[in-house]
Amino acid sequence: MEEKKIVASALQQAIPELDAEKIMQLLETPKVATHGDWAFPTFSLAKLWHKAPNIIASELVEKISSPDFEQVKAVGPYLNFFLNKEKFSQLTLHDIVVKQDRFGDTTIGDKQVVTIDMSSPNIAKPISMGHLRSTVIGNSLANIFQKIGYAPFKINHLGDWGTQFGKLIVAYQKWGSEDAVKANPIQELLRLYVEFHERAEEDDSLNDEARAWFKKLEENDPDAMYLWSWFREESLKEFHKIYDLLGVDFDSYNGEAFYNDKMDAVIDLLEEKHLLKTDQGAEIVDLSKYDLNPALIKKSDGATLYITRDLAAAIYRKETYNFAKSLYVVGNEQSIHFRQLKAVLTELGLDWAQDIYHIPFGLITSGGKKLSTRKGKIILLEEVLNEATADALKQIEEKNPNLAHKEEVARQVGVGAVIFHDLKNDRLNNFDFDLAEVVRFEGETGPYVQYTYARSQSILRKAKFTPSADENYALADDNAWEVIKLLQSYPDTILKAADKFEPSVIAKHAIALAQAFNKYYGNVKILTDDAQKNARLALVYAVATILKEDLRLLGLQAPAEM
Ligand code: ARG
């Protein structure tokens, strides 16, 4: 951020005792506009200079003068800097006009790979709200990391292996039919799964049968394999419907089953490093020095586990993609699992274990209660997306009945509402899912940002505005300045979002920018013919460009009209 550096270097010349870095750290952004654009607290100088902070502040003011500042004011122990609005609005608008949607791009990532394990639903079960969160957070992180120069690689680590397939095969053979599965794959497979659990509560022998079938599957028994791959295929077809609606794609669908033939190598490696211990017939890795329960690698019946497959996957990913960072966007409830995974890799002496990041997120509840697939208590994502779309269409019919491509816009808005609602708060926050609230189009929502973008586009169309890199777009009024400051902070906002793995940082920027722009629009007559008209239009153009880019980073479309 250029502006902050300019303030810091002006201060540095007046305070030789502190280096520019330290000054950068001390600079604050005042909460209220009347305190200027940057504030410097003088407390840390009091000891050095043996003077009271407010005296230091008034002395420093005398030493600083530069055309970069409209004013530098001492207020108590603070120095308040007011940037030269004309100069910096021109710089910012010029930059955006030249770079357009590449404003904020950097090469920090140096094309290094970031693998993102995301979505990863379980075959034969509906995509849950948790998987929705993983999908949209992961997708947004991929966009953000790409923007700062990394090469993201999105992996759908499908839950396509595990004892549940034994249960499913038993249930299908006893109470299912081919036709029913074909007609409605996931719903029918879920019904069978739920029925299995209900009946197994009364009759434990069903669990034995399920274990036996899973064992067969692990031994590549053709009947078992046939059913498994059929369930997988039918489920994937359904998942794709949702991914298409969300506009998300993946670079790999290597799920848990992909690692079946890579398991022995992991176990050999663990043995080689003398990490395996036998505990009641099972193979475990002791992790007490990490304050963690042991990782269960192999059950007494020889079956491998979720973590065994994750170990194989982590090693495979390092060898295949040579990632600089490896992210796992998975719910908070699995944080122990990922700590164990990292600990075992560390024990194996793999120094890249430190590049593994679990990106947890909070739980979605319904009516205050946890959702459980086993009990059949789920929210169907497809229904949510369709309902949100229907709602968007209704609002368009009311407000803009003559809009072209109404259906398409309604999809972009409805789906956008669901995605934005998920991304706008810190990812670790839990939230209760209330469809009526998600599809509300006022307040801090995706549709509000989309609507603001469409408004800015309509102004530009009306004015037939084309931006030019040679024109001077200086604006000096306070209304514009609020908007300019948000535009200026955009490159830093992206870095912050990447640093914290937090798409909500982008969502909050989008909301703030939309609000500031709407305030500007309410207070200023943009299209009045005067000397500033083109500068105002350049501001509108810059807002449109950045709002669209904010939306794109979050995974939302930006319809030009709505
Ligand atoms: N399929 C798992 C679930 O639904 C999520 C998998 C996450 N990724 C991983 N590599 N463990 O809970």
For the stretch 539-549, pLDDT in tens is 999 999 999 99
pLDDT value for 218: 85
Reported as type and span, the H/E element at residue 152 is strand 151-155
Confidence of residue 376 (pLDDT cuts 50, 70, 90): low
* pTM metric for this prediction: 0.94
Paired sense of beta strands 78-83 and 38-41, if any:
antiparallel
Q: Pull the structure tokens for residue 227.
A: 């059913």
Residue range 209-224, pLDDT digits in tens = 999 999 899 889 999 9
Tokens representing 27 are 């600079």
- Positions of E strands within 251-404: 276-279, 282-285, 295-298, 325-329, 356-359, 364-366, 369-370
Mean pLDDT in residue range 170-190: 93
- Determine if ligand 1 sits within 6 Å of the CB of residue 358: no
Looking at the fold, whether 75 and 166 belong to one and the same domain comes out as no
Mean pLDDT of 164-182: 95
Residue 78 included in any domain: yes
544 and 395 within one domain = yes
Average pLDDT of the segment spanning 8-25: 93
**Nearest residue (CA) to ligand 1, atom 6:** 120
Three-state DSSP class for residue 102: helix
**Same structural domain for residues 177 and 65?**
no
Tell whether 65 and 194 lie within a shared domain.
no
The H or E element that residue 140 is part of is helix 129-147
256: nearest Cα among 97, 455, 103, 123: 123
Can you give the pLDDT at residue 310? 98
188 and 44 share one domain: no
Question: Domain boundary residue among 241, 267, 300?
Answer: 241
Given this model, what pLDDT does residue 409 score? Answer: 97
- Confirm if 120 and 159 have CB atoms less than 8 A apart: yes
Per-residue pLDDT reduced to its tens digit, 103-114 = 999 999 999 999
Mean pLDDT within 32-48: 92
Q: Mean pLDDT of all residues in the chain?
A: 94
544 phi, psi to nearest 5 deg: -60, -45
pLDDT, tens only, 74-86? 999 999 999 999 9
**Cβ–Cβ under 8 Å, residues 313 and 323:** no
**Does residue 429 share a domain with residue 526?**
yes
Secondary structure string (H, E, C) spanning 33-44: HHHCCEEEECHH
Q: Are residue 385 and residue 522 in the same domain, yes or no?
A: yes
Task: Ligand 1, residue 338: give the atom nearest the CA.
Answer: 11
Please give the pLDDT value at position 319. Answer: 98
Q: What are phi and psi of 97, to 5 degrees?
A: -60, -40
**C-alpha span between 314 and 224 (Å, rounded):** 27
Cβ-based neighbours of 456, under 8 Å, separated by 6 or more: 517, 540, 541, 543, 544, 547
Instruction: Write out the residue range of the structural domain in which residue 221 sits.
Output: 162-241
Nearest-atom index, ligand 1, CA of 130 = 4
The SS3 assignment for 160 reads: coil
Q: How far is the CA of 330 from the centre of ligand 1 (A)?
A: 7
The reply to whether 463 falls in a domain is yes
Sign of dihedral through CA atoms 331, 335, 336, 337?
Answer: positive
Mean pLDDT of 392-420: 94
Determine, yes or no, domain membership for 247: no
Task: Assess whether 54 and 202 both reside in one domain.
Answer: no
Reading the block at residue 552, the tokens are 């794109």
328 lines ligand 1 (CB under 6 A): yes
Sorting pLDDT into bands at 50, 70 and 90, what band is 373?
low
Give domain status of residue 371, yes or no. no
Predicted confidence band of residue 374 (pLDDT cuts 50, 70, 90): low
CA of 436 to the centre of ligand 1 (A): 29
Dist. CA 509–CA 97, nearest whole Å? 20
Same domain assignment for residues 177 and 72: no
Is the CB of 117 within 6 Å of ligand 1?
A: yes
Question: Is the CB of 128 within 6 Å of ligand 1?
Answer: no
User: How far is residue 538's CA from residue 542's CA, in Å, rounded to a whole number?
Assistant: 6
* C-alpha pair distances (Å), 477 with each of 1, 265, 326, 472: 22, 67, 46, 15
Q: For residue 382, name the pLDDT band (cuts at 50, 70, 90).
A: confident
CB neighbour class for 309 (10 Å; exposed up to 12, middle 13-18, buried from 19): buried
Helix (H, G, I), strand (E, B) or coil at 290: helix
Q: Tell me, yes or no, whether 101 lies in a domain.
A: no
CB 164 less than 6 A from any atom of ligand 1: no
> Does ligand 1 lie within 6 Å of residue 161's CB atom?
no
We report the CATH number of the domain holding residue 15 as: 3.30.1360.70
Could you give the CA distance from residue 331 to residue 339 in angstroms, rounded to a whole number?
13
Q: What's the gap in Å between 157 CA and the centre of ligand 1?
A: 6
Contact between 407 and 377 (Cβ < 8 Å):
no
Domain boundary among 241, 257, 290: 241
What are the pLDDT digits (tens) for 121-150?
999 888 888 999 999 999 999 999 999 999
Residue 404 domain-assigned (yes or no): yes
Quote the ligand 1 centre to 316 CA distance (angstroms): 16
Kindly give the number of the ligand 1 atom that is closest to the alpha carbon of 159: 1
Domain final position from 204, 222, 241? 241
Total domain count, the chain: 3
Instruction: Give domain status of residue 50, yes or no.
Output: yes
Q: Looking at residue 544, which CATH number applies to its domain? A: 1.10.730.10
Task: Specify the ligand 1 atom closest to the Cα of 310.
Answer: 10
Interatomic CA distance for residues 123 and 131, integer angstroms: 12
pLDDT for the residue 496: 97
334 is a domain residue = no
